[in-house]
Amino acid sequence: MQLTEYPDAHHGFDNPTLKAPVSLPQAQTGRRCTLEEKPVGQIINHQTAQPFSVDDPCIERGVTVAYNAPAHSEALKAVKDFLTMAFNLK
């Protein structure tokens, strides 16, 4: 597994139909939550050690969705490179 963070990439960064950034001030986000997966797939909030809920204090409101062409291009390349390696397609 590899996690890549693309600079200035918001939710929907790979959706070219988003012609301009859209602010959603009431949308919930768990961007500040640290989660763990316990046995049998239970998701735990690391800070509280309790099962994760959308009512957790780490949940915030306010997101932006926006297309980011360079991030989209890099993500597509990363997926193609991974699949080429994983399936030995060279």
The pLDDT tens digits for 3-40 are 899 999 999 999 999 989 999 999 999 999 999 999 99
- Which pLDDT score, from 0 to 100, does residue 32 have? 93
- Which pLDDT score, from 0 to 100, does residue 18 have? 95
Residue 73 has pLDDT above 90, yes or no: yes
- Which pLDDT score, from 0 to 100, does residue 5 have? 93
Residue 53, in any domain of the structure: yes
Residue 10, in any domain of the structure: no
Residue 59 has pLDDT above 90, yes or no: yes
- What average pLDDT does the segment 59-73 reach? 97
Residue-number span of the structural domain to which 51 is assigned: 22-86
When the pLDDT of each residue in the chain is averaged and rounded to a whole number, the result is 94
The single-letter DSSP state of residue 11 is B
Q: Which of 78, 57, 64, 66 has its CA nearest to residue 27? A: 64
Report the number of secondary-structure helices (H) and strands (E) in the chain: 1, 5
Residue 37, in any domain of the structure: yes
Residue 13, in any domain of the structure: no
Residue 30, in any domain of the structure: yes
**77 Cβ neighbours under 8 A, 6+ residues apart:** none
Structural domain count of the chain:
1
| CA separation for the pair 50, 56 (Å, rounded) | 9
Residue 14, in any domain of the structure: no
| CA separation for the pair 28, 60 (Å, rounded) | 6
